Amino acid sequence: MTVLEVRPDRPWQLLCPQPQEEPQQSIDTETDLLQRVGTGNLPPTLCLMRHPRCLVVTRREARMPNFDSARAELTKAGWPLAVRASGGSCVPQGPGMLNLSLVFPRVMDWRLEDGYRLLCDLLGEFLKSYGLSVETGDVPGSFCDGRYNLQVDGKKLVGTAQRWAGGRRDKAAILLHACLLVDLDLIEATTRLNQLYSLCENPQRFRADACTTLSECLGMRAESEPGDFAKEVEERLQGLLLDRFEIG
């Protein structure tokens, strides 16, 4: 399957909202889009977004022991927590992480694999424009590991997720999500992830060297202002979306 085979009845809209200050409100943007596309109140939607610095946990993780006290400690350290509806494990967010969401009415005979292949094809093409060759697969030690990571030299560069909503065919919608590590501080982010798990008596730990960033892959020096490079990458990805999708 390729991106061009996904042709909803209505043209897509492209949203590039400004980062919001409140992490939970920012993370809930996707849930709102999924509900509104499913009910037909919004057309199929492409969304490029960067969230404020935070750790985003699953609902299951929000039930870990000592979660409330861990949340208070990490918020004090400048890493507030937000809760998302999809599965996996905790993910860091911030100006150096670029999020791409595709939200559209459910396609007949759609499979989970179709969504992941769509994301991997699209992001693989985008990264090829930087001269990078990517592979798909698990990366042990990376946060929110999965079979459909995009990796460079064995390190995770893009994480993917998928969520379906609505039981009735005329009310069902699909959300495809990808997180591109642009210039996130992996050492600090991973340290905070492991701190959360330690405080919540979760034995799982992650390694900063299991992931990479686009800036690292390109041999760039660290940016003086986090997120500057992410703005350039966002504009470039926006151009690809405008070229590949019928946007009204």
CATH at 137: 3.30.930.10
pLDDT for residue 1:
39
Please give the Cα distance from 169 to 172 (Å, whole number).
Answer: 5
Q: Which of 90, 144, 179, 217 is catalytic?
A: 144
Tell me, yes or no, if 120 is annotated catalytic: no
Looking at residue 8, its pLDDT comes to 78
pLDDT in tens, 170-201: 678 999 999 999 999 999 999 999 999 999 99
What pLDDT digit, counting tens, does each position of 56-80 carry?
999 999 999 999 999 999 999 999 9
> Among 120, 117, 110, 125, which Cα is nearest to 244's?
125
**Tell me, what's the pLDDT at 225?**
57
171: part of which helix (H) or strand (E)?
Answer: none
Q: Which two tokens stand for residue 143?
A: 């946060």
Give the pLDDT of residue 124: 97
* Distance of alpha carbon 212 from the chain centroid: 15
pTM of the predicted protein model: 0.93
Number of domains in the chain: 1
Q: The tokens of 33 are what?
A: 């889009």
Per-residue pLDDT at 222: 55
Looking at residue 3, its pLDDT comes to 45
The parent domain of residue 234 ranges over 3-244
pLDDT score at 108: 83
Residues in the chain predicted with pLDDT less than 50, given as ranges, are: 1-4, 224
